[in-house]
């Protein structure tokens, strides 16, 4: 089966007002990627801010 690809926004989706993703979010993305899938951040933020 081909890999899945997810494009995710940052604000209000991956992070809240703290600007730091929860450990559960980090773990879920890592598990998704470890299964051979692709994860992309789609944001209007400048690159330095998205990192």
User: What predicted TM-score, i.e. pTM, was given to this entire model?
Assistant: 0.78
Q: What is the pLDDT of residues 8-47, one digit of tens each?
A: 988 888 888 888 899 999 999 999 999 999 999 888 878 7
CB burial of 24-50 (b: ≥16 within 10 Å; e: otherwise) equals eeeeebeeeeeeeeeeebebeeeeeee
pLDDT at 26: 95
């Amino acid at each position: 089966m081909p890999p899945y690809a997810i494009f995710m926004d940052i604000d209000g989706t991956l992070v809240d007002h703290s600007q730091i993703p929860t450990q559960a979010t980090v773990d879920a993305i890592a598990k998704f990627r470890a299964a051979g899938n692709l994860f992309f951040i789609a944001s209007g933020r400048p690159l330095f801010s998205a990192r």
